Every structure is written in C-alpha cells, then in structure tokens.
C-alpha cells in the first residue's frame, strides 16, 4: 500500500526521503514523488513508475538538492490511475502547501463540490488533492498550519495518515493519522516521519507512534502531539524493534526466500521465554493480566484475512483439540458486515502480521463493541491492532518484507499452539501431555532446518511441472489449511491457478479437473487420516494426476503412490503445519522464479492492505 516519508532537520532532505521510499518499496506502489521546501518555495518532482524513475527526474532538478525539509510518497492507485498528476505530493491550487496522504477520504466528492464552488481548481482525480485544497482554504484564515489541518480533518470522513508542509511556516511538518499508521522517528535535531518504521531505522531507533485522531507538529528543535480537539497528548519514546540488517536482503535473491529460510530462527524467537520446559509451563506475559478471565472463555472467534486466515483455521483446530474450547475462524471482511452474535464469554482473536489490515481491524472493533474480549496475534509491535486489543501475544518473527507471507504464518501457528496449550493445561490437559507437546514444539526449529535442506530438489521438482497452469493442493485435518495456504502461495506469486481443498471434498466436484499429468500436491504426513489420504491419492492417480506428496521421513509406503515425495520430520499432528507448509512455500517460490515473476512484488498485490 502507499508509503509516506518526511524529513525535517539540518541535513539535506532529498536523499533521506528517496532512501526512505526505497525501504517502503516492498509494500507495493505504482507512482512516487517528492516535495521539498527551499527558500520559501515548494519544489515537487513526481512520476508514475518506480523509484528509479523518480530519481531520474530528480537528477534533472538540482535546485531540489539543498532543502532540509520535505515529504515524499509512494502511491498505490485507488482514485484515478497511476499518472504524474495523481501521484503525491499534491500542492494546493494556491501553491501554499503540499500534502502526502495514505488512506481514503470517503466524502471527497462532496468536499470537492464545495471547494469548486469557492473557486478551487483540481488537476488530479484523487481524494488526496481535495484534502490539500481543503486545508489550503482553511489555512487562509488560520493562525497556524496545524490549526488548518485540524479543522479540515473534522470535515473529513474516512481514513488518513498524512503529512503537510507549507511555504508560510517552512520549518515545520504537520502529520496526523486516523486508520493509517504514522511513526515519528526522533533523532538529534532531526525527525524522520514515515508510515512504516522500515523507513526510519537507518536514522534512529527512537520513535513516537501516533494513535488515531492525533496530530503532531514537528520542527528541527522539537515536536508536540495533540488530539484533533487540540488537547496536548504526552508521548513516551518507544524503541523500534528491528535493525537495518534485518530488513536487508543479506545475500538472498529475494525477501521471500530469505524469510522462508529465517523460519527456524523466527520460531525460536517466538518461543523464547514462553516454553518453561523445566516446570512444564507455557508462559505468555502478554495475556497474563487477563489469564483468569480467559480460562472462562466459552467460544473463540479467530478473525483475519488471507494467509493469516489460514493460520486462524489451524487455530480453530488447535483450540478445539488442545483446549476443548469451541472455536471458529471468520474472514474479517465478512464478519465486520454481518450481524455477528457475540454471547458472553466470547473471545475474538485478531491475527495479523502487519497489525494494520483494515478489514481485520474493523472486525476487531465490531467484536469489541459487542462485548467480546479482544486478543491480538500480531507481528508489528505498536501497530493499531496490537494497541486496540485487550491483550495479546506478539510473534517476534522480525520484519516481513516479502509480499507473500511465510515466516509470519508459521509464527502465527506457533503462538496459537502456545495459547491453546496455555488454556488447555488450565482446563483439561495433563501435565504429561503438555510436556510432550512442549518438547515437540521446542524441536520444531531444528526440524524446519532439515526441511529447508530440500530447497534445490524442490526447485527440480517444480521444473518438471512448470508448464501446468492449474494445480490442486489437498490435505486433511491439520493439513487441510496447509493445502489452502500452498495454493494461495502458488497463485499469488507465480500467477498459476491453484485450488486448495480438504482431500475428501475432491470427489464431490473438483475431481473433474484432473487430467493426465496435472500436478496435485497432497499433504500426507503420518497422522490419523493417513490411510484416507492414501485413498485420495489413488483417486488422483487413477485419473492420471501427477502426485507430489509431502510425507513423513521414513514413510516407505508413500513412494509407491507419489511421483515425487518431499519429506518432513515426524512430529505430533497439531504441529505438522509448521513443517508441511515449508515445502509448499518453496514450491511456490521456485515456480515464480522459473516463470520469471517478480517474487517480492507480485502484480496487483501490496504488503499491507489498509483499505477495505
Ligand atoms: C498472502 C498474504 C496476505 C496476508 C493478508 C493479511 O501471502 O500475505 O494474504 O496474509 O493480507 O495480512 P496481515 O497478516 O498483515 O493482516
């Protein structure tokens, strides 16, 4: 989604802004722009295309080089196509101020009509330019830029993260947010603002996170934060959790591959301090304050989108299996618009890597408004979902840059397993059973490492199938969500059509798709439904399907049925998704590379979906 960067300080702004935009590239965009303030002039450069196109434009604008205040933006088109006119920053029609904006102004047409009647002119199709002109209109009579911004935002329906600079107050950036993240990096005599901490870490790890309906006024010598009602809000400095090394490629060709290979370490970090093996106890500090209340949980609703929804489906199975609590998973986008029934004792668990997904956030708010206790399973520390839940457990997976979620998925499943074990032990689970499962969970990072050694072989398996445009993914029980996730991974980065199914459902329709040579990936580790899955494989083979099985090491039977076998070490069924998903992530990765797709920037996709 769109990215914002801003700088105010003593250094030259342009380089910092462009570097910041590069750090946000992974989020997806189709145009970019910079506006700096120099000697009371607003100087703007913008264009459709990549940051490299923008730097080519900037090379022709040496007059923009010396400024020490500026704002910049990467845009992912919503209102109007990716053109130079629609790219941000937008300069108001009186030339007084420039604005960058993430989010959507829902009432922009009504505002545009009013402003047009007052004589304002518009050069773009965007809602953001309307906001720029609205602020400019109010700025004519306002004492300060922040007054004009505040008043304008009271007129606005919708979401925004925004940054504004003006000719009249050239040493100042005003930023505000509602529903779209904004972080202020606090340096020594300088501030870097951004919609994502990735653009800040190079300069400082000290940050102030704005909450919804807050605004900050930032000058080189200090900042103040206010509510939109002009009340001061004291803020503590927080630490940005990750470092520059963590967001660098570190020798890998793509972030997705790097993050697949980071999974053993990411899971170790997710488990750190949470498995007390000596006392056979799961320790989850984040939910401790409401631990007693949680034991009375009568029903759990997981809500999430995409890959996080697949993790939620595994969560449903884990909670029913290990904690004996009725559980279900809901698409956040559906849940928020239904009229959901939330009886007493309902706990809603929002699962989100970014912690900013608009639908998940809205579903969470809907559930809270109806009285549910809200838990978060979130990766991005300080994100909106993390802050709006009653309690939660962070993933500690480290930054996930690749658009296709991989290590966040496995860490989401780890955290769900920990939560289910934590509650299960307090309800039904014996200490012995818990101890066995804890030991198995502790062994997962090393087992993941073993699975990863098959990377090259998986590439070879894919090479033999790469011309197929339709694939099926089958699994049962805990491995049914893995089949769904394998299909999603393949289609989103390689653009191959793929369907994931509970294996037995195949014969109720989709079996008609199978023809000679069609790739069918069957997730078939040893578990209670193993024999049934073998029958499903036979059904596929009888119709000429080419079977790629994911199976337990040492399973001598499976090779008789499958054309290729990808091996995973043995582990208890509830933990199998943590291992069985890895070969599927690698299958998708190699398919995308072999088809020449841009793995880290798949078409039409953005990393964090902050619009509905
Ligand atoms: C797929 C993928 C998406 C996200 C979904 C939710 O690889 O990454 O399906 O899982 O957009 O995002 P978060 O977890 O940030 O809420």
Residue 612, pLDDT score: 67
Q: Residue 498 forms beta bridges with which residues?
A: 471
Q: What is the whole-number distance in angstroms between the Cα of residue 403 and the centre of ligand 1? A: 8
Q: How far apart are CA 260 and CA 538, in angstroms?
A: 31
Q: What is the whole-number distance in angstroms between the Cα of residue 487 and the centre of ligand 1? A: 14
| Predicted confidence (pLDDT) per residue in 573-600, tens digit | 999 999 999 999 999 999 999 999 988 8
Give the residue from 195, 239, 205, 486 showing the smallest Cα distance to 354: 195
Q: What is the whole-number distance in angstroms between the Cα of residue 141 and the centre of ligand 1? A: 44
DSSP 8-class letter at 450: H
Q: What is the whole-number distance in angstroms between the Cα of residue 522 and the centre of ligand 1? A: 24
As a 3-state breakdown, the chain gives helix, strand, coil percent values, each rounded to 5, of 40, 25, 35
Give the residue from 104, 30, 7 showing the smallest Cα distance to 605: 30
| Predicted confidence (pLDDT) per residue in 481-501, tens digit | 999 999 999 999 999 999 999
Q: How far apart are CA 386 and CA 384, in angstroms?
A: 5
Higher-pLDDT residue of 189, 78: 189
Residue to probe by mutation, ligand 1, list 260, 353, 488, most atoms within 8 Å of CB: 353
Higher-pLDDT residue of 240, 8: 8
Give the burial string for 586-607 (b: 16+ CB within 10 Å, else e): bbbbbbbbeeebebbbbeeebb
Residue 1, pLDDT score: 65
Average pLDDT over residues 241-258: 84
Residue 611, pLDDT score: 63
Give the burial string for 33-70 (b: 16+ CB within 10 Å, else e): bbbbbbeeebbbbbbbbbbeebbebbeeeeebeebbbb
Q: How far apart are CA 550 and CA 338, in angstroms?
A: 38
Q: What is the whole-number distance in angstroms between the Cα of residue 127 and the centre of ligand 1? A: 26
Looking at every residue in the chain, the average pLDDT score rounds to 94
In this structure, which residue's CA is closest to atom 16 in ligand 1?
352
Atom of ligand 1 nearest to the CA of 607: 8
Q: What is the whole-number distance in angstroms between the Cα of residue 485 and the centre of ligand 1? A: 11
| Predicted confidence (pLDDT) per residue in 375-419, tens digit | 999 998 878 899 899 999 999 998 898 989 999 999 999 999 999
Q: What is the whole-number distance in angstroms between the Cα of residue 236 and the centre of ligand 1? A: 30
Residue 602 binned pLDDT confidence (cut-offs 50, 70, 90): confident
Residue 80 binned pLDDT confidence (cut-offs 50, 70, 90): confident
Atom of ligand 1 nearest to the CA of 409: 10
Atom of ligand 1 nearest to the CA of 309: 10
| Predicted confidence (pLDDT) per residue in 270-305, tens digit | 999 999 999 999 999 999 889 888 999 999 999 999
State the DSSP H helix or E strand holding residue 21, giving kind and residue range, or none if neither.
helix 13-23
Give the residue from 16, 121, 111 showing the smallest Cα distance to 58: 16
Residue to probe by mutation, ligand 1, list 180, 255, 308, 378, most atoms within 8 Å of CB: 308
Residue to probe by mutation, ligand 1, list 259, 307, 400, most atoms within 8 Å of CB: 307
Average pLDDT over residues 500-519: 93
> What tokens appear for 49 in the block?
């295309």
Average pLDDT over residues 514-543: 95
Q: How far apart are CA 432 and CA 215, in angstroms?
A: 53
In this structure, which residue's CA is closest to atom 10 in ligand 1?
307
In this structure, which residue's CA is closest to atom 6 in ligand 1?
305
| Predicted confidence (pLDDT) per residue in 150-162, tens digit | 999 999 998 899 9
Give the burial string for 423-451 (b: 16+ CB within 10 Å, else e): bbbeeebeeebbbebbebbeebbebbeeb
- Least confident segment among 28-32, 216-220, 333-337, 524-528: 28-32
Q: What is the whole-number distance in angstroms between the Cα of residue 585 and the centre of ligand 1? A: 14
Residue 24, pLDDT score: 87
Q: Give percent above pLDDT 70 in the chain.
A: 99
- Least confident segment among 20-29, 48-57, 398-407, 421-430: 20-29
The catalytic site residues sit at 2, 607
Average pLDDT over residues 552-570: 96
Strands across the sheet with 3-8, in order?
A: 41-48, 31-38, 69-75, 3-8, 191-194, 183-186, 206-209, 238-239
Q: How far apart are CA 489 and CA 506, in angstroms?
A: 20
Residue 27 binned pLDDT confidence (cut-offs 50, 70, 90): confident
Give me the DSSP letters along 276-326: ETTTTEE--GGGGGGHHHHHT--EEEEEE-HHHHHHHHHHHHHIIIII---
Is 409 in contact with 377 (CB distance < 8 Å)?
A: no
In this structure, which residue's CA is closest to atom 7 in ligand 1?
404
In this structure, which residue's CA is closest to atom 5 in ligand 1?
306
In a 13 Å sphere around the CA of 195, the CA atoms on its Cβ side amount to: 34
Q: What is the whole-number distance in angstroms between the Cα of residue 575 and the centre of ligand 1? A: 21
Residue 10 reports pLDDT greater than 80: yes
Is 42 in contact with 254 (CB distance < 8 Å)?
A: no
Residue 264 neighbours by CB under 8 Å, 6+ apart: 445, 446, 448, 449, 452
* Dihedral-angle region of residue 345 (phi above 0 means left; psi in -120 to 50 means alpha; beta otherwise): left
Residue to probe by mutation, ligand 1, list 357, 363, 584, most atoms within 8 Å of CB: 357
Atom of ligand 1 nearest to the CA of 608: 15
Residue 444 reports pLDDT greater than 70: yes
- Least confident segment among 95-104, 147-156, 241-250, 469-478: 241-250
Judged on CB neighbours under 10 Å (0-12, 13-18, 19+), 500 is buried
Residue 28 reports pLDDT greater than 90: no
Q: What is the whole-number distance in angstroms between the Cα of residue 352 and the centre of ligand 1? A: 7
Average pLDDT over residues 54-78: 94
- Least confident segment among 127-131, 237-241, 456-460, 534-538: 237-241
Q: How far apart are CA 72 and CA 5, in angstroms?
A: 5
Average pLDDT over residues 57-62: 96
Residues with CB under 6 A from ligand 1: 305-308, 352-354, 357, 360, 404-405, 488, 492, 608-609
Atom of ligand 1 nearest to the CA of 354: 15
Q: At what angle do helices 263-271 and 431-452 cross, to 10 degrees?
A: 160
Residue 179 binned pLDDT confidence (cut-offs 50, 70, 90): confident
φ, ψ for residue 266, nearest 5 deg: -60, -45
Residue 127 neighbours by CB under 8 Å, 6+ apart: 78, 79, 101, 104, 105, 108, 158
Residue 95 neighbours by CB under 8 Å, 6+ apart: 42, 167
φ, ψ for residue 604, nearest 5 deg: 65, 0
Residue 378 neighbours by CB under 8 Å, 6+ apart: 350, 351, 352, 353, 355, 385, 386, 389, 392, 394, 395
Higher-pLDDT residue of 45, 244: 45
Residue to probe by mutation, ligand 1, list 305, 330, 589, most atoms within 8 Å of CB: 305
Q: Locate tokens 């108001």: which residue?
A: 92
Residue 250, pLDDT score: 78
């Amino acid at each position: 989604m769109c990215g914002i960067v801003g700088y105010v300080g003593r250094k030259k702004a342009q380089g910092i802004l462009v570097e910041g935009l590069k750090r946000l590239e992974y989020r997806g965009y189709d145009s970019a722009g910079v506006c700096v303030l120099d000697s009371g002039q607003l100087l703007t450069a913008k264009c459709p295309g990549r940051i490299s196109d923008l730097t080519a434009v900037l090379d022709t604008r040496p007059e923009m080089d010396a400024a020490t205040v500026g704002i910049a933006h990467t845009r992912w088109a919503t209102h109007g196509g990716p053109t130079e006119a629609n790219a941000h920053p937008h300069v108001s029609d009186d030339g007084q101020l420039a604005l960058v904006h993430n989010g959507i102004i829902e009432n922009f047409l009504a505002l545009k009509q009013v402003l047009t009647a007052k004589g304002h002119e518009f050069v773009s199709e965007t809602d953001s330019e309307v906001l720029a002109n609205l602020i400019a209109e109010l700025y004519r009579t306002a004492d300060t830029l922040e007054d004009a911004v505040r008043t304008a935002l009271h007129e606005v329906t919708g979401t925004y993260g925004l940054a504004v600079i003006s000719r009249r107050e050239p040493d100042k950036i005003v930023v505000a947010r509602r529903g779209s993240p904004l972080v202020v990096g606090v340096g020594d005599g300088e501030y870097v603002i951004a919609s994502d901490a990735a653009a800040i870490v190079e300069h400082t790890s000290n940050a102030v996170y704005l909450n919804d309906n807050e605004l900050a006024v930032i000058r080189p010598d200090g900042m103040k934060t206010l509510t939109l009602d002009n009340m001061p809000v004291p803020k503590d400095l927080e630490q940005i959790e990750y470092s520059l090394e963590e967001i660098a490629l570190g020798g890998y060709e793509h972030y997705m591959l790097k993050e697949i290979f980071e999974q053993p370490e990411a899971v170790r970090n997710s488990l750190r301090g949470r498995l007390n093996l000596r006392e056979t106890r799961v320790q989850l500090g984040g939910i401790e304050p409401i631990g007693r209340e949680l034991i009375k949980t009568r029903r759990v609703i997981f809500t999430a989108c995409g890959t996080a929804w697949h993790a939620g489906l595994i969560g449903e199975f884990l909670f029913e299996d290990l904690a004996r609590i009725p559980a279900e998973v809901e698409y956040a986008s559906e849940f928020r618009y239904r009229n959901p029934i939330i009886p007493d004792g309902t706990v809603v668990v929002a699962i989100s890597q970014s912690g900013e997904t608009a639908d998940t956030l809205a579903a969470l708010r809907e559930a809270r408004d109806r009285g549910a206790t809200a838990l978060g399973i979130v990766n991005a520390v300080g994100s909106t979902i993390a802050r709006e839940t009653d309690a939660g457990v962070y993933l500690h997976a480290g930054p996930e840059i690749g658009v296709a979620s991989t290590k966040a998925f496995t860490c989401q499943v780890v955290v769900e397993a920990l939560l289910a074990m934590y509650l299960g032990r307090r309800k039904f689970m014996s200490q012995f059973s818990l101890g066995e499962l804890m030991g198995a969970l502790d062994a997962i990072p090393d087992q993941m490492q073993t699975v990863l050694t098959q990377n090259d072989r998986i590439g070879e398996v894919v090479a033999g199938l790469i011309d197929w445009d339709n694939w099926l993914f089958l699994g049962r029980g805990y491995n049914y969500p893995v089949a769904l996730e394998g299909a999603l991974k393949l289609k989103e980065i390689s653009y191959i059509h793929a369907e994931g199914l509970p294996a037995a459902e195949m014969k109720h329709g989709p079996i008609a798709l199978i023809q000679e040579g069609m790739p069918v990936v069957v997730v078939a580790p040893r578990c209670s439904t193993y024999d049934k899955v073998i029958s499903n494989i036979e059904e596929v083979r009888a119709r000429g399907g080419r079977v790629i099985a994911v199976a337990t090491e040492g399973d001598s039977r499976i090779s008789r049925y499958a054309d290729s076998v990808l091996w995973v070490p043995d582990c208890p069924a509830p933990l199998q998704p943590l291992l069985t998903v890895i070969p599927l992530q690698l299958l998708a990765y190699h398919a995308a590379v072999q088809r020449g797709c841009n793995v880290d920037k798949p078409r039409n996709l953005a990393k964090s979906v902050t619009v509905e």
